[in-house]
Amino acid sequence: SDMVQILKQLPNCEVLAVGSRSVEGAKRFGDRWGIPRHYGSYEDAASDKDVDVCYIATPSLRHPKDCLLAIKNGKAVLCEKSMAPNDTIAKEIFDAAKEANVLVVHGVWSRFFPAMQKVREIIDAGEIGEVRSARASFCQNDGAGSCSALLETGIYCAQFLQWALEDKAVGGSPIVRGAAKTIHESGNDEHVTSIIEFPSKKIGSFECSLAHCSDRSATIYGSGGVIEVPFPFWCPTTVKVTKMTGLGSQQWSEPELYEFPLPADITALKTSDGSTPGFNFCNSQGLAYEAAEVNRCFREGLTESPSFTTAQCIEIMRLISEIGSYA
């Protein structure tokens, strides 16, 4: 329901239809949030001729099938993470979208936050010198065994490392140099840590878990200082920069703090019964950044977002796949 509330407040956007596995389920959700068309199958929803973009938030194991269904019907797609269990299937989805000439965006919403853009600006301006490494931690004691920690929270860590350590001028691909994991009795990984080598001798590391907690922050380390992105680093509103110089890098500057408030015009909406249940997740108002980018890309006839390209997405899914199969 968080994305529905966002879309209903987004300029030049209408929430037209909802699809479910039953007409009753679709009608119940649609009536609650004021969505006029209700479909008892995803096929019927995807074939509605008036629908331009399908937002896919079905159970994650269905994501590939539902993406391909929407693409087959000529719809643009915004798919919640993880869009696929591995890079091979992700590539199949993007290849289908390319053939159909439709937009597909993987909903790793971190990429579209202004704070993330600021991080990249700081790196490119050389404010902390030469970036050499980065780390990210996303551990929560919630959901162990129900799904893969790598696909649930690790994907946010991997995308952050890519954002911080990617060097488009140099090119090349990151390499997984090590990983360790523990497996829940369900067969899903519940705790994973990994080391990734990026081109230009840059090293990234991350830890993800659904069985215990961490501070859920990320840090970028350079020859002249550090960039800290505190909780919640995957949907950030704060960036802190501390410059370090002198003998042993022991002279620390006064930290520079950059704040990016969430959109003030996005609020929790009332449902049909007059209640205001609010948002389910931390900083959900920030979904407006991702939704606005999809809207812009669709209206401009793009088939990918420049902020999170097909190649970048497939690379992240490759890293996740290789870490998952490591050892």
> Nearest 10 degrees: CA dihedral of 284, 241, 319, 151?
-30
pTM, 2 dp = 0.96
Q: At what angle do helices 155-165 and 310-325 cross, to 10 degrees?
A: 120
The reported pLDDT for the residue numbered 219 is 98
Q: What is the pLDDT of residues 29-85, one digit of tens each?
A: 999 999 999 999 999 999 999 999 999 999 999 999 999 999 999 999 999 999 999
- Cα separation, 207 vs 138, in Å, equals 6
Predicted pLDDT of residue 169:
84
Where residue 327 falls among pLDDT bands split at 50, 70, 90? low
Report the pLDDT averaged over residues 132-138.
Answer: 98
Q: Are 311 and 108 in contact (CB under 8 A)?
A: no
pLDDT at 247 > cutoff 90:
yes
